[in-house]
Amino acid sequence: MGAPYLAGASQSPGLLQQPLSQTAEPTSNLTLRVTASGSPPIFYQWRFNDADIPGATASSLTVSNLRPAKEGTYQVLVSNREGCLTSALAAVLLDNPLRIN
């Protein structure tokens, strides 16, 4: 099922679902997702710690083989012809019972 769209009306992108922060075991995989609305086509660019992730241009992002170098904040830039917006930050952390915040 696609995101809502009114035929013939130009709509800037909106986010119906933000990416959620997650904690996972070392070497596991996790998936971040967004659901966007607006006039098609809608484009996505995922970012890790404020830098674009090359080739990460879908509405979901799988972080494979989680390890310390992949811990941090992820977000996605969503755009179409009418505008762009940036999602909320999602923290990805290793499940570590000895973590001190």
- Rounded to the nearest 5°, which phi and psi values hold at 70? -100, 0
Report pLDDT digits (tens) over 36-71.
Answer: 999 999 999 999 999 999 999 999 999 999 999 999
Q: Answer whether 73's CB lies under 8 Å from 51's CB.
A: no
Sequence letter at residue 71: E
- pLDDT value of residue 1: 46
CB 99 within 8 A of CB 68: no
Query: Residue 10's pLDDT is what?
Result: 87
What domains sit in the chain, N to C, each tagged with a CATH number? Answer: 14-94 (2.60.40.10)
Closest CA to 92 of 60, 67, 57: 67
Paired strand residues for 35: 17
CA distance 40 to 99: 43
